[in-house]
Every structure is written in C-alpha cells, then in structure tokens.
C-alpha cells in the first residue's frame, strides 16, 4: 500500500494516537516524507533505532533529516557522545593529557609536604582566628573551645570501702553538679582591637560605570554591617564608597551610622553635604533634626521636621520626633516665665522720648510664648486658669488678637502656608514683657485719649519699644482702629479684662458706624473670644467664635478657640469636630493633633467602640481654605526639577499608555475587528501624534472599512513625517484605487517599487491598475467626438514634407486642450496630452490660465520627474520672456506639492540641467516682483 493510500485510509484519531504500536506500513520512505506530525515521526525514529523491525541505516538517516526540517529542536535528534578514552584520542593528545596529570599530581604532593612541615602553633597568641561579628572573644589555635578537665595521670581512681562513704560530703558534690564551684580554668582572651579597614580607595583609573558599581558594592557592605549593629565598620565602608564616588545615599547612611555612634559633628557634616547635593532631602532633614535635638536646638529641629512633614505628611518618625521636640519646647517656656517682670507704659511726645523716659530696672526679657498662650507672669494667681490649664494647646494658636500682618482667615487666605510660625508673635513682640501688676484691671492700662502723638513706649529692663496705636487696621475708621490696637496691646501684656472692654467698644462702634467690612468684624469677634477664653468664660467665647465663623467660614483661630472652649465645657464631640476641621485647614497645628488624640481616648472610654457613629458630621473644608496646600513659592531650581520630573513621569505614563493601546489595536487587527482597532489607533495618535506607524496602521483599518478618503489622509500624514515609508505609499495607492484615481495609484505603486523592487504585491497591483487605467482612458476617448482628418495624395517629396509639417502642427499647437481645468483630473488630462505630444507651447498656455496657488493641488496625485522637467521647459521657453512674474509665482508654489522632495531626488542629470538653466535665466531678468536674492533663495529649494 502506498503512502497516499495510507494517509487516505487513516483517520485523524489514528494519526494522533501516539500510545499504540507503529504499523510496519509507516516504516516507509514515502510515508515518512509525507508525514507532517513531528511527534509521530519521533516515535517512528525510536522504532527504527530500536531494531525491532530490522536495522535500516539509510532509512534512519532519512527520518532524522526529515524530522530536523519539521522540528530542529526535537529531543529525538540529540545524540549522546561516548566518553573519551585513549583509543578515541590521538597519540599526541593522550600523551599531553598524561603529562599534565603527572605534573598536577607532583605539585599537589609537594604542597601537601610543605604544609605538613609548617608549624601552625608557633605563636598561639598572635595567630588567632578573627572574631565573629557581634563577639570580641576568640579561641587561640591549639585550644579547644570546650574546656577539658585536667587529670593527673599518676592518680587513678581507687575502689572505695564503706569507711570512705562516711567522709563523703553530699552537699559539696551537689554544688559541683550545679556548677556553684568556681573552676580555675584560664580566662578567655578578649580581642579588644577591631580589624582596621582602609577607608581610602584609589579609583582614579576606573571608568564612571566601574566607579558606580564599586561604590554600590562598598555601600552594600556598609548596609550589611549596619544591620548587624556594627556601626564602626559601616562607617568605614560608607567612607570607602564616598571615596570612590560621592552619592546622596552613602552620605545619608553614614550620617545615620554616625548618629548611632554619637559622632554628632560628623553626622551634621554629612547631612549638610546631602542638602547641598539635593535640597529638600527628607532623610537628611530628619537626621539633621535629630542632631539639633541632641544639641538642644529644638526650634531648628522643629523647622527641619516641618519641612519633612510638608513633603511627607504621613512620616511617622518625623511626627513622633516633632511631638517630642514641641513637648520639650513647651516644658522650657514656663520656666522662662516664672520670673517676675516689670513693665512701664508711659506717654511721650515725639521730641521728648529720651528725656521723659523713667530709668527703671527690670529682669531681662525672655522670649514670649506664641500669641495668646499662657502668660503666667501676667495672669493673677488668685484667679487661676478657670479649669483650662490641662486643655491649653502646647504652644500653638490658642488665640491672641488678630493683626492684619498675619490675618489667616480672609477670603483669599493671605497666610504664607502651613508653617506653624504664623501662630507665633514677631521678634518685636517677643521682647515685650507682662505688666508687673498682680491684677488684670490695674491702672497701667492704656488710655488712648491721653496720648498726644498716638504712640506708646513699653520699657522692660534695658529694652524699649514704641507701639503706634493709630496704625490703620483694614477698613476700620481711625477711632475703631485705635481701640483695636489698644486691645491688642493690652492682650499681649496680659490685661485680658481691659482688652475685652476695648474690643467690645470697637464692636459697638462698628455697628453704629454702618461700615461694611466683614473681615474686620470677624477679627474683632475672634479677639474678644480670645479674651473670654483667657478669663474662663467659655460660653461667651463660643458665641463670639460662632459669629466670627459666620462672617468668615473656616477661619483657623476662631475654630481653634471654639474647640478649646467646647473641650473646657466637656463637650468633647463638638470639640473633636472643630479640631478635625482645624487639621483640614492646616495639618501642622500640633495642638490640634494632641487634642484629637486626647479626646479620642476620652470618647472611646465614654461611648465605646462605636464612638464615631455618635459624632456630628465633620464639614468638608474646600481646597481654597486649606493652608497647608498653599506653600511658599519654591525656588527656580526646585521648579525646574519638579518640571523635569513631571515631564519624565508624563512621558513614561504616555509611553506605557501608548504601547498598551497600540498592542490592543494590533490584536484587534489580527482578529479582523478593524473598527475596534480604529478607535485604539485614534487614541494612540492623541497621545503621540507624530508616530508614523500608527497612521499606516489606521490607514489599513480604513481600507478594510472601505473608507478610502480617510485612509488616503492618514497615508499623507505618514509621508509628511517619513517621506520614504513603503507602507504609506502602498496603502495610499490602494486608497486611490478605491477612489478610482488610477493615475495617482500607479504613481504610488511606482514609488513603492523604486524603494523596494522586491515587493510583489506592488507589482501585481501595478499590472491591475494599468489595465484599469487603459480602460478608463478608452472610455473617455469613446465619449469624446472624433475629428475627421483629411488624407491627400502627394506626388513629390515637397508635398510630402508639407503634409508632415501640417500633421505635426495639428498634433502640436492645434490639438484641442482644455485651458480652463476645474479639477485635478482635467488638469492632468490636459498636461498629459501636451506632454505626450511634446507641445511645450500648449503647456505654457495651460500654466498661464492656471492660478499659481492651485498648481500644487492639481499636481498632487501625478507629480513625477518627467512632469517637473516638462513644466520647467515650458516656463523657460515660452513664459519667461512674456511674464517673468508668473514664472516666479509658479515656481514659488510648485515646490510645496506633495512628494516634491521625493521626486526631486529621483531627477536625472538632464532634468537638473533644465532646472538650473531656468533659474539662471530668471535671475538675469529685471523685475519689480522679485529680486535676485529672492530667486537665489527659491533656487536653493530646487537645486
């Protein structure tokens, strides 16, 4: 049975059955040659190699060669090479191997003898094993780590009789067993020295990549030592890494190791170096804050920590360290205020400041608390704090009077960001001291009507400060502004009752005056609420804060003061809501953080696990009111770095999105879902409009959907970006074919074959389009009426020449040409007729009647080298003398035609010569429409 018969009678299931026995009919040359199942061929090959049906070397070799064509990586083709023996090697190779083995054997024996003769125990103290990391002990060579009991060989254990048992001390033996008896073993030798690591590495001969690799290796060694708590070794390896190539990471890591070693100056130096290389590095700021905190500079530490939290609001380490730092600052401030302070407020004239000042002595001025904080020197001892002592924020924004300079609740939010410094007094107010009177209502209060110059002088020790009480305050009239300034001054001096009176007078005057300035009224209510809070009048404080918030919603200070008043009245739920609102406005208010944590514990104890469900709704603060989102404008370098990073991130995201969309489009094309692919490619072009491949892919989808106009537009766009794209030419040719523009289709196919003559699809399409073009031309010629040409007989040669001249004239100038084309097709037919007859005069007439700006549109589908050369000859021969300006205009528009640059590269020498000759003649013409320089610039685009 032949192989064809076997395949015809064999079912698919029997072909795929690899578990059964191979029939003898399949062990045939024809069957093996026609078999395409590589797995089944492997089974046939195994049967042939086994010899079950006989040994056929040629058939085995034929099967192997056929299997190699189907699956070159088949495991059945692998052959095991036998182990090499002396018989499989030449005599010279075997002798060389034997000699090398003998040489190796002799060297090994020699090394073994030398090692045996060498003494390893000459100096057991010096030759020691290096200590294990984490331990400073070692065991000398020659000594076991387990102490051996020293026995006297001369004494042997003798058998005991009954009398010795009476002398046996049981307690002593039990102590030996329990280990209570001290042994006289020699103490272990402690290795106090640390193995020294060279910190300097010579990397001058290394390349930049080698330096980076070596520096990273040394840094990794330092990281390993750091994790093992061996900070000295970590510092050594970090120093080696920095010696090779300084990096921010190595400086940061070394600073952390230096902090663990308490080398504070070295750690500070490394942090400063990091901030020079990378300003705003959070790790360096955090570690520098640690150093500042150790040196007793909590203010500088808190500044660094706030910068860290501004970049990383959820940094736990920075939050904890800032809390400790703020606590330390709050503990130090009451100690500074325990001393009594004296203050003298006296009136003065402008010219008698120095003469009338009383010479008094007082304690040196201590830095004051933040505005509105607890001022123990000014508060009377008998009144106390009215139950607010344990609920006051620790040094932030509990509410001194508002000033226009730091007003934080106006509509556009004029404060400078989320820093807590806006809740502290200025340097000038830090030098003010509280009044020496023990009562708030003392006679040292300010009286505005006694000041002739509107200024008050505050004397504290050797420091004096002049306060202008007539300074303008927003839109308030001068009398109200003076009342407000007096209230601010009294509040700063701790005279809260007098300040409350001034603010009340200002509020009444505001109502009577009828002015419209809600910002100023909001400040007055907020300041009076601060006075109520200081006096322990929480109810009135809540009322004033609520009025202030009605005027200016989401004002920070009224919210904070109302929260404190609610907390003093043990209305914890409403206090919690106000504190959370404050944190939405400015997350850096540490007092709100502390209060939220404290109230949370109270509410959990009070309401249980479901305490959140019993809370009122927390209002959502708009972004415009969130101060921590409005930082100070960064520097130009920071802005540039952010812009570069944003650009890189945007490019990366765009690239990922673009690749995903393109891949999805390609998958849709493979599945034949061209409309879905069209949408994906359109989205790709929105991301990267300059990607040429996407235009050609979308053009293919348009062709499949028979939307030939859109396909042609995409091909044009692709050719603008890549003038030699074969796919764009080919697909535009198919689009022109669909639009029945066979001339343009033929031109595009010729471009494809010029770029790559091996494109068979283009050759087939060109043959088919040529046939279609001839048919269309024939149809056009049939539609046009034929002309009768008279034929006359001649007797001599003169008459024959006359007939020839007549025929040529009728073929040339007299041939009818449409001189008023209305479309690119009409223009092309006229131009082809003139070019086929070689009639440059007719071409000149056609160009004369054609507007120069329409020339690129008419030639867009049929531009080639012959057409350009023919137009150049017509312009040079007929139009240049008659109308040089028209020639210049045609040349100015001709080079803007599609594919002009491609055609220009394919021109021959004679065609270039005609073009050069035309520009030479044009430059020699004197015209008012252009200059020689204009002609030269235009010639550069052609030649």
pLDDT at 436 over 60: no
Token code pair at residue 430 = 């830090």
Task: Please answer whether residues 273 and 251 qualify as being in contact, where contact means their C-beta atoms are separated by less than 8 angstroms.
Answer: yes
Q: Considering only CA atoms, which of 619, 613, 540 is closest in space to residue 577?
A: 619
Q: Considering only CA atoms, which of 571, 581, 518, 511 is closest in space to residue 541?
A: 571
Classify residue 552 by its DSSP letter. Answer: S
| CA 5, chain centre distance (Å) | 68
Sign of CA dihedral 601, 604, 607, 613: positive
Backbone angles phi, psi at 350, to 5 degrees: -65, -30
Q: Considering only CA atoms, which of 397, 403, 467 is closest in space to residue 432?
A: 467
- Give burial (CB, 10 Å; 0-12/13-18/19+) of 861: buried
pLDDT at 758 over 60: yes
pLDDT at 103 over 60: yes
pLDDT at 714: 92
pLDDT at 516: 82
pLDDT at 390: 36
For the stretch 14-32, pLDDT in tens is 444 566 788 888 888 999 9
Q: Residue 346: which H helix or E strand, with range? A: strand 344-347
pLDDT at 641 over 60: yes
DSSP H stretches of helix in 739-823: 742-755, 760-783, 797-811
Token code pair at residue 327 = 């606590």
Token code pair at residue 710 = 């859109």
pLDDT at 501: 92
Q: Considering only CA atoms, which of 861, 853, 849 is closest in space to residue 825?
A: 861
Distance CA 549, CA 555 (A): 6
Mean pLDDT of the chain: 75
Q: Average pLDDT of 605-624?
A: 87
More confident of the two residues 796 and 301: 301
Distance CA 61, CA 82 (A): 20
pLDDT at 131 over 80: no
Q: Considering only CA atoms, which of 432, 437, 439 is closest in space to residue 460?
A: 432
Task: Please answer whether residues 617 and 580 qualify as being in contact, where contact means their C-beta atoms are separated by less than 8 angstroms.
Answer: no
Distance CA 371, CA 400 (A): 5
pLDDT at 524 over 70: yes
More confident of the two residues 804 and 3: 3
For 337-341, 492-496, 497-501, which range has the lowest pLDDT when averaged over its residues? 337-341
Token code pair at residue 536 = 């322990």
Name the pLDDT band for 267 (thresholds 50, 70, 90).
Answer: very high
Q: Average pLDDT of 57-70?
A: 90
Give the neighbor-by-neighbor strand order of the sheet with 344-347.
Answer: 344-347, 455-460, 463-468
Q: Considering only CA atoms, which of 882, 802, 796, 781 is closest in space to residue 841?
A: 882
Task: Please answer whether residues 894 and 922 qualify as being in contact, where contact means their C-beta atoms are separated by less than 8 angstroms.
Answer: no
More confident of the two residues 227 and 430: 227
Long-range pairs for 132-140: beta carbons < 8 A, 24 or more residues apart: 133/225, 133/228, 133/230, 134/228, 134/229, 134/230, 136/190, 136/191, 136/192, 137/188, 137/189, 137/190, 137/191, 138/189, 138/191, 139/188, 140/189
What are the Cα distances from residue 76, in Å, to 45, 52, 83? 8, 17, 20
pLDDT at 429 over 80: no
- Give percent of the chain above pLDDT 90: 23
For the stretch 578-607, pLDDT in tens is 999 999 888 888 989 999 999 998 999 888
Task: Please answer whether residues 223 and 174 qualify as being in contact, where contact means their C-beta atoms are separated by less than 8 angstroms.
Answer: no
Q: Considering only CA atoms, which of 415, 421, 379, 403 is closest in space to residue 526?
A: 403
**3-state DSSP assignment of residue 495:** coil
Long-range pairs for 447-456: beta carbons < 8 A, 24 or more residues apart: 448/482, 448/483, 448/486, 450/347, 451/347, 452/347, 452/349, 453/348, 453/349, 453/350, 454/482, 455/348, 455/350, 456/345, 456/346, 456/347, 456/489
More confident of the two residues 800 and 532: 532
Name the pLDDT band for 162 (thresholds 50, 70, 90).
Answer: low
Name the pLDDT band for 288 (thresholds 50, 70, 90).
Answer: very high
For 384-393, 814-823, 926-935, which range has the lowest pLDDT when averaged over its residues? 384-393
pLDDT at 894 over 50: yes
DSSP H stretches of helix in 447-571: 478-492, 496-513, 518-535, 538-551, 556-568
What are the Cα distances from residue 409, in Å, to 33, 532, 550, 565? 92, 20, 12, 19
**3-state DSSP assignment of residue 134:** coil
Q: Considering only CA atoms, which of 556, 525, 555 is closest in space to residue 542?
A: 525
User: What residues have CB less than 8 Å from 137, skipping those under 6 apart?
Assistant: 131, 188, 189, 190, 191
pLDDT at 814: 45
Q: Average pLDDT of 91-103?
A: 91
Name the pLDDT band for 542 (thresholds 50, 70, 90).
Answer: very high
Name the pLDDT band for 414 (thresholds 50, 70, 90).
Answer: very low
pLDDT at 455: 59
Task: Please answer whether residues 131 and 191 qualify as being in contact, where contact means their C-beta atoms are separated by less than 8 angstroms.
Answer: yes
Task: Please answer whether residues 684 and 694 qualify as being in contact, where contact means their C-beta atoms are separated by less than 8 angstroms.
Answer: yes
Distance CA 819, CA 541 (A): 95
Task: Please answer whether residues 395 and 329 qualify as being in contact, where contact means their C-beta atoms are separated by less than 8 angstroms.
Answer: yes
For the stretch 701-711, pLDDT in tens is 999 988 999 99
What are the Cα distances from residue 69, in Å, to 41, 510, 823, 909, 914? 11, 102, 59, 51, 59
Q: Average pLDDT of 126-140?
A: 50
Q: Considering only CA atoms, which of 596, 88, 112 is closest in space to residue 323?
A: 596
What are the Cα distances from residue 654, in Å, to 458, 641, 668? 64, 20, 21
pLDDT at 551 over 50: yes
**3-state DSSP assignment of residue 145:** coil
CA atoms within 13 A on the CB side of 385: 14
- Crossing angle for the helix pair 556-568 and 518-535, to the nearest 10 degrees: 30
How many secondary structure helices (H) and strands (E) does the chain include?
A: 41, 3
pLDDT at 311 over 80: yes
For 31-45, 95-109, 531-545, 868-882, which range has the lowest pLDDT when averaged over its residues? 868-882
Name the pLDDT band for 334 (thresholds 50, 70, 90).
Answer: low
CA atoms within 13 A on the CB side of 921: 21
Task: Please answer whether residues 336 and 345 qualify as being in contact, where contact means their C-beta atoms are separated by less than 8 angstroms.
Answer: no
Distance CA 610, CA 603 (A): 9
- Would you tell me how many other CB atoms lie within 10 Å of the CB of residue 41? 23
Distance CA 360, CA 462 (A): 8
pLDDT at 858 over 50: yes
Name the pLDDT band for 856 (thresholds 50, 70, 90).
Answer: confident
- Whole-angstrom distance between the N-terminal and C-terminal Cα of the chain? 75
Please list the residues that pair with 456 across neighbouring strands: 347, 467
Which residue's entry shows tokens 């007549």?
Answer: 806
pLDDT at 179: 64
More confident of the two residues 902 and 140: 902
């Amino acid at each position: 049975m032949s192989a064809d018969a076997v395949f015809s009678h064999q079912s698919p299931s029997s072909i795929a059955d690899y578990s059964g026995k191979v029939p003898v009919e399949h062990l045939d040359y024809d069957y093996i040659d026609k078999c395409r199942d590589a797995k089944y061929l492997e089974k046939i090959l195994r049967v042939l190699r086994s010899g079950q049906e006989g040994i056929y070397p040629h058939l085995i070799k034929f099967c192997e060669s056929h299997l190699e064509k189907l699956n070159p990586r088949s495991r059945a083709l692998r052959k095991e090479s036998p182990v090499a023996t002396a018989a499989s090697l030449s005599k010279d190779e075997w002798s060389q191997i034997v000699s090398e083995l003998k040489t190796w054997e002799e060297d090994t024996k020699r090394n073994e003898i030398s090692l045996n003769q060498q003494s390893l125990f000459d100096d057991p103290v010096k030759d020691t094993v290096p200590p294990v990391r984490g331990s400073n002990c070692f065991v000398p060579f020659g000594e076991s780590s387990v102490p051996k009991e020293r026995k006297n060989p001369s004494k042997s254990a003798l058998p005991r009789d009954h009398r010795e048992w009476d002398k046996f001390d049981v307690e002593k033996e039990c102590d030996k067993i329990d280990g209570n008896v001290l042994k006289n073993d020699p103490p272990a030798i402690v290795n106090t020295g640390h193995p020294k690591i060279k910190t300097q590495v010579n990397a001058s001969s290394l390349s930049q990549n080698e330096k980076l690799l070596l520096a990273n290796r040394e840094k990794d060694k330092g990281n390993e030592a750091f994790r093992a708590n061996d900070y000295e070794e970590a510092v050594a390896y970090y120093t080696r890494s920095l010696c090779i190539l300084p990096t921010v990471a190595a400086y940061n890591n070394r600073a952390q190791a230096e902090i663990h070693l308490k080398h504070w100056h070295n750690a500070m130096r490394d942090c400063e170096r990091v901030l020079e290389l990378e300003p705003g590095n959070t790790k360096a700021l955090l570690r520098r804050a640690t150093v500042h905190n150790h040196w007793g500079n909590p203010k500088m530490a808190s500044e660094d920590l706030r910068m860290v939290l501004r970049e990383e609001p959820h940094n736990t380490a920075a939050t904890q360290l800032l809390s400790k730092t703020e606590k330390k600052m709050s503990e130090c401030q009451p100690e500074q205020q325990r001393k009594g302070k004296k203050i003298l407020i006296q009136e003065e004239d402008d010219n008698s400041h120095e003469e009338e000042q009383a010479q008094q002595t007082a304690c040196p001025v201590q830095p004051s608390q933040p505005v509105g904080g607890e001022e123990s020197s000014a508060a009377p001892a008998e009144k106390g704090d009215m139950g607010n002592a344990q609920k006051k924020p620790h040094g932030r924004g509990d509410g001194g009077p508002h000033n226009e300079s730091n007003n934080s609740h106006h509509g556009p939010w004029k404060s400078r960001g989320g820093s807590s410094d806006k809740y502290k007094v200025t340097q000038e107010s830090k030098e003010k001291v509280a009044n020496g009177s023990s009562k708030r209502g003392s006679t040292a209060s300010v009286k505005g009507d006694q000041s002739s110059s509107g200024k008050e002088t505050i004397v504290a020790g050797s420091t004096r400060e002049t306060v202008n009480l007539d300074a303008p305050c927003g839109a308030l009239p001068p009398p109200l502004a003076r009342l407000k300034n007096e209230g601010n001054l009294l509040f700063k001096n701790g005279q809260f009752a007098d300040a409350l009176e001034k603010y009340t007078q200002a509020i009444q005057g505001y109502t009577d005056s009828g002015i419209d300035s809600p910002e100023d009224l909001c400040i007055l209510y907020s300041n009076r609420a601060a006075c109520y809070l200081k006096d322990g009048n929480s109810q009135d404080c809540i009322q004033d804060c609520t009025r202030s918030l009605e005027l200016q919603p989401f004002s920070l200070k009224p919210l904070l003061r109302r929260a404190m008043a609610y907390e003093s009245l043990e209305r914890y739920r409403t206090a919690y809501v106000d504190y959370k609102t404050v944190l939405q406005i400015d997350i850096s208010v540490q007092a709100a953080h502390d209060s939220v944590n404290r109230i949370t514990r109270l509410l959990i104890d009070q309401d249980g696990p479901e305490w959140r469900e019993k809370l009122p709704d927390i209002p959502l603060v708009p972004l415009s009111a969130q101060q921590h989102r409005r930082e100070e404008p960064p520097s130009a370098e920071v802005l540039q770095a952010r812009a570069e990073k944003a650009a890189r991130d945007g490019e990366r995201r765009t690239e990922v999105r673009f690749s995903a969309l393109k891949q999805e489009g390609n998958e849709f094309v493979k599945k034949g879902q061209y409309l879905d692919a069209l949408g994906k490619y359109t989205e790709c072009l929105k991301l990267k409009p300059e990607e040429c491949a996407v235009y050609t892919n979308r053009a293919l989808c348009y062709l499949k959907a028979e939307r030939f106009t859109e396909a042609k537009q995409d091909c044009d766009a692709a050719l603008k970006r890549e003038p030699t794209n074969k796919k764009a030419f080919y697909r535009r040719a198919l689009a022109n074919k669909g639009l029945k523009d066979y001339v343009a289709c033929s031109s595009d196919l010729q471009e494809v074959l010029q770029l790559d003559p091996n494109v068979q699809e283009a050759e087939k399409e060109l043959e088919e389009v040529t046939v279609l073009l001839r048919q269309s031309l024939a149809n056009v010629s049939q539609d046009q009426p034929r002309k009768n040409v008279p034929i006359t007989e001649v007797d001599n040669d003169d008459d024959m020449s006359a007939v020839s001249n007549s025929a040529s004239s009728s073929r040339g100038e007299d041939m009818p040409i449409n001189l008023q084309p209305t479309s690119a097709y009409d223009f092309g037919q006229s131009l082809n007729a003139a070019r086929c007859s070689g009639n440059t005069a007719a071409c000149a007439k056609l160009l004369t009647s054609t507007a120069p700006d329409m020339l690129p549109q008419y030639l867009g589908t049929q531009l080639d080298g012959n057409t350009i050369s023919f137009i150049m000859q017509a312009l040079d021969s007929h139009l240049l003398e008659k109308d040089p300006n028209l020639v210049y205009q045609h040349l100015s528009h001709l080079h803007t035609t599609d594919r002009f640059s491609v055609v220009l590269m394919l021109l021959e020498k004679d065609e270039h010569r005609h073009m050069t000759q035309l520009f030479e003649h044009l430059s020699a013409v004197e015209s008012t429409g252009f200059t020689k320089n204009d002609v030269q610039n235009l010639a550069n685009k052609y030649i």
